[in-house]
Amino acid sequence: MAHLTRLLAFAGLLTALSGRAAAADLPLEYAVKASYLYKFAPFVQWPPAAFESAIDPLTICIAGQDPFGKMLDDAVRGQRVNGHLIVVRHIDALRPGVACHILFAGSGAGAEELLHAVAHQPVLTVTDRSRGVAGGMIQFVMVNGRVRFMIDQGAAEESGVAISSKLLGLAVSVVR
């Protein structure tokens, strides 16, 4: 009995330790995801109508719960893709006059709704599987402790967003 108790205690300690380790890894994982989020932009081509002018900013919209915080703002600061400055916006609903080019749907019911709402608009949707959200054209997954992604090319093509073969080649899986 005492033996069992000790074993349990050890298991509890292990769990606690691994939990702490996971918690420590979290910022790094999300920093990587934040940088990937804006690095998708050069590999993606939007239809010309997606930008009003050549100097229009490229907007990354964050819907639902934001797991990145300041990290994303730091990552995109001063970055340009094809001459478009990258800006980050937090939204809870689609509003006329606010164009989204990349939509990251965090957890939350509103986020999933938004995901459906932009289904036929030229918006690259990104979701994070490890946060239990699915349905984006690009979904972050963890493979061997590394951040990787899956791509739904069919959905992207349907909405008029072209994803470069260079990016497709790096995906762990591609749905056509």
Task: Give contact residues for other proteins (rule: CB under 8 A).
Answer: 32, 36, 39, 41-43, 79-83, 146, 148-149, 164, 166-167, 169-170
Q: Which residues, at least 6 apart from 98, have a Cβ–Cβ distance to it below 8 Å?
A: 59, 61, 89, 91
* Residue (15 or 165) nearer to other proteins, CB: 165
* Residue (93 or 170) nearer to other proteins, CB: 170
Smallest CA-to-CA distance from 75 within 65, 87, 92, 58 is with 87
Round to whole Å and give the CA distance between 140 and 115. Answer: 15
- Smallest distance, other proteins to C-beta of residue 89, A: 20
Smallest CA-to-CA distance from 64 within 33, 110, 127, 113 is with 110
- Smallest distance, other proteins to C-beta of residue 169, A: 6
- Smallest distance, other proteins to C-beta of residue 105, A: 20
Give burial (CB, 10 Å; 0-12/13-18/19+) of 101. buried
Round to whole Å and give the CA distance between 8 and 78. Answer: 52
* Residue (111 or 156) nearer to other proteins, CB: 156
- Smallest distance, other proteins to C-beta of residue 75, A: 11
* Residue (42 or 57) nearer to other proteins, CB: 42
